[in-house]
Chains A and B, each alone.
Chain A
C-alpha cells in the first residue's frame, strides 16, 4: 500500500462544486423525527432575503455549481420562492424543489415553473395515509397526493423520496407502488442516517437486520421489474454492513449546503461539529468559503486522516466515512467513522445495531425546543 508520505498535499485550488443545497428556511409544517435540519433550528427572522439568495446563487454559478436543490424545512413557506428560482435560473443553475408538498397549489406551481423550476422532489413518510401523517407529525398525505398530480400535470419530472426506518421498511413495496401510481420518474428510498434529530430518535427508528434484508430484496426485485421506466434508488444504511458511506462524496468535494441564515457547510449536519467556525455568505464570498475557508479545508483530501484510514486502500473511495457520525459517536470528528468494520470504535455501533428491539418508543418530533411534541406510536 501507498505510504502516508506519498499522499499529495491538498490541492491549492479544490475542484469546483457541482451542487448547492439551499436550506431556504427551517420552518416546516412537518415534524419528521429524522429531519436533516440541525437540532438548533434557524429562526425565520435570521433568514437570508431573496436578494441575498440571488447573490449567493450567482456566486455559486461562477464557482461552477450546476444544480441547486431548493429545500428547507419547507421552501414553500417562503412567499418569495419564485424570485429565488428565477435568480438561480438566470444564473444558469438547474433548479429542483425539495418539498413536503404542503402548500403547493396549481397557481403556486405555475409561478415557479414560469420562473424556471425544472424538477420536483416530493417527500412521503409511508405508503398508508395514516402512517405517513403519524410519522410526519402532521396531516399531510392528501396534500402530497395533490402535489404529485400537479407536478405531473405541469409536465415536470417528479422524484418521490421516502426516508426509511423501522416503522416503514416493511412497507417498501407499497412505497414503490405509490411512486408508480403517483407518476414518479424516480423513487429514492433513503435509509435513515443517524445524526441530529435521527440520532435523538435512534431507538425508535433503528430497524432490525431482518427488516433491512427483506427490504433490500424487495427493492432489487422492483428495480428489475421497473428497469427502463422508473429509477429506483436505495440509499444504503451504514449501521449494518461494516462499510462506511462515502459521505457527501468527500468533504468539500462535490457540494455545499447554505443554511437559512447564510452559514455555509460541507453537509447539512456539519454545523454540529465543534469549533468548525462556520463561514457565512454575509461576511465572505462563496469563492473564499469554498476554496480557502478553514471549515471547508479541514477534512478535505486525505492529509487529516489518522490510522486506519491513512494507509487504507479505500481512503479515496469512502473518504473515511462521515465526520459528523465520527464526532457524534466518538466525540472526535477526525476519527474513522465507527460504521467501518476497521474502526477501533466499530463495537460502539455494532452494539447498538444488534440490540434486540421490541415494544414502542415514542418519537421526539422535530420542532423548536419547548414545542417539541411526543407521539403515541400505533403502528
Chain B
C-alpha cells in the first residue's frame, strides 16, 4: 500500500442521496449504501493524497478514532471490491 494514492474507479460515483439521507457509491447495476464514516474516508480519495495523508487528515478530524489501523484496512477492502484504484 506504500505510495498508493487511492481514487475511485471511473465508473464509480460517490454521492449524497438527499431523499434517503445517506451516502452512496453508485456503479453500473449496483448501489452501495455507505455506513458510518465510509463516505468521509472515500471523499479524501482524490488520486493525489497518499494513504498516510488520508489517515492524518482523518486522525485530526476524528481525534481518538482508531484510524491508523482501520482506514488502510478499509481502503484495501474497497480496492478489492474493484471500486478504488
Q: A159-B28, A186-B28 are in contact. Are A92 and B15 (CB under 8 A)?
A: yes
Chain B interface size band reads 10 to 19
A119 touches B19 (CB 8 A): no
Residues 1-35 of chain B: 1 if any A CB is under 8 Å from the residue's CB, otherwise 0? 00000000011010101011000101111010000
Cβ distance B18 to chain A, nearest Cβ, rounded Å: 9
B11 touches A66 (CB 8 A): no
A157 touches B15 (CB 8 A): no
Within the complex, which residue of B11, B15, B17 is in contact with A119, where a contact is CB–CB below 8 Å?
A: B11
Q: Within the assembled complex, what's the spacing in Å between the Cα atoms of A41 and B13?
A: 35
A66 touches B10 (CB 8 A): no
Residues 57-82 of chain B: 1 if any A CB is under 8 Å from the residue's CB, otherwise 0? 00000000000000000000000000
Cβ distance A262 to chain B, nearest Cβ, rounded Å: 22
A63 touches B19 (CB 8 A): yes
Give the residue name and chain of the B residue nearest to A231 (CB).
B29
Cβ distance B32 to chain A, nearest Cβ, rounded Å: 11
Q: Is A139 an interface residue (CB 8 A)?
A: no
Within the complex, which residue of B19, B24, B28 is in contact with A157, where a contact is CB–CB below 8 Å?
A: B28
Q: Is A64 an interface residue (CB 8 A)?
A: yes
Residue count of chain A within 8 Å CB distance of chain B: 19
B19 touches A155 (CB 8 A): no
Q: Within the assembled complex, what's the spacing in Å between the Cα atoms of A16 and B28?
A: 19
Q: Within the assembled complex, what's the spacing in Å between the Cα atoms of A26 and B24?
A: 32
Cβ distance B78 to chain A, nearest Cβ, rounded Å: 15
Q: Is A316 an interface residue (CB 8 A)?
A: no
B28 touches A118 (CB 8 A): yes
Q: Within the assembled complex, what's the spacing in Å between the Cα atoms of A67 and B24?
A: 12
Cβ distance B26 to chain A, nearest Cβ, rounded Å: 5
B residues near A118, Cβ cutoff 8 Å = 11, 13, 28
B26 touches A94 (CB 8 A): yes
Q: Within the assembled complex, what's the spacing in Å between the Cα atoms of A68 and B19?
A: 16
B residues near A62, Cβ cutoff 8 Å = 19
Q: Is A18 an interface residue (CB 8 A)?
A: yes
Q: A118-B11, A156-B11, A157-B11 are in contact. Are A96 and B17 (CB under 8 A)?
A: no
A residues near B11, Cβ cutoff 8 Å = 118-119, 156-157, 185
A186 touches B29 (CB 8 A): yes
Q: Within the assembled complex, what's the spacing in Å between the Cα atoms of A157 and B82?
A: 12
Within the complex, which residue of A18, A63, A156, A186 is in contact with B31, where a contact is CB–CB below 8 Å?
A: A18
A residues near B31, Cβ cutoff 8 Å = 18, 66-67
Q: Within the assembled complex, what's the spacing in Å between the Cα atoms of A209 and B20?
A: 43
A residues near B20, Cβ cutoff 8 Å = 16, 64
A155 touches B17 (CB 8 A): no
Residues 119-162 of chain A: 1 if any B CB is under 8 Å from the residue's CB, otherwise 0? 10100000000000000000000000000000000011101000
Cβ distance B11 to chain A, nearest Cβ, rounded Å: 4
A residues near B24, Cβ cutoff 8 Å = 66
Give the residue name and chain of the B residue nearest to A158 (CB).
B28
Give the residue name and chain of the B residue nearest to A62 (CB).
B19
A residues near B19, Cβ cutoff 8 Å = 16, 62-64
Residues 56-73 of chain A: 1 if any B CB is under 8 Å from the residue's CB, otherwise 0? 000000111011000000
A66 touches B29 (CB 8 A): no
Cβ distance A372 to chain B, nearest Cβ, rounded Å: 32
B17 touches A66 (CB 8 A): yes
Q: Within the assembled complex, what's the spacing in Å between the Cα atoms of A157 and B29?
A: 11
B13 touches A94 (CB 8 A): yes
Give the residue name and chain of the B residue nearest to A61 (CB).
B19
15 contacts between A and B (CB under 8 A): A16-B19, A16-B20, A63-B19, A66-B17, A66-B24, A66-B31, A67-B26, A94-B13, A94-B26, A118-B11, A119-B11, A121-B28, A156-B10, A185-B11, A185-B28
Known A67-B29, A121-B28; 12 more pairs at CB < 8 Å: A16-B20, A62-B19, A63-B19, A67-B26, A118-B28, A119-B28, A155-B10, A156-B10, A156-B11, A185-B11, A185-B28, A186-B29
Tell me the A residues contacting B by CB distance below 8 Å.
16, 18, 62-64, 66-67, 92, 94, 96, 118-119, 121, 155-157, 159, 185-186
Which 8 interchain pairs have the tightest Cβ spacing? A64-B19, A119-B28, A157-B11, A94-B26, A157-B28, A16-B19, A66-B31, A66-B26
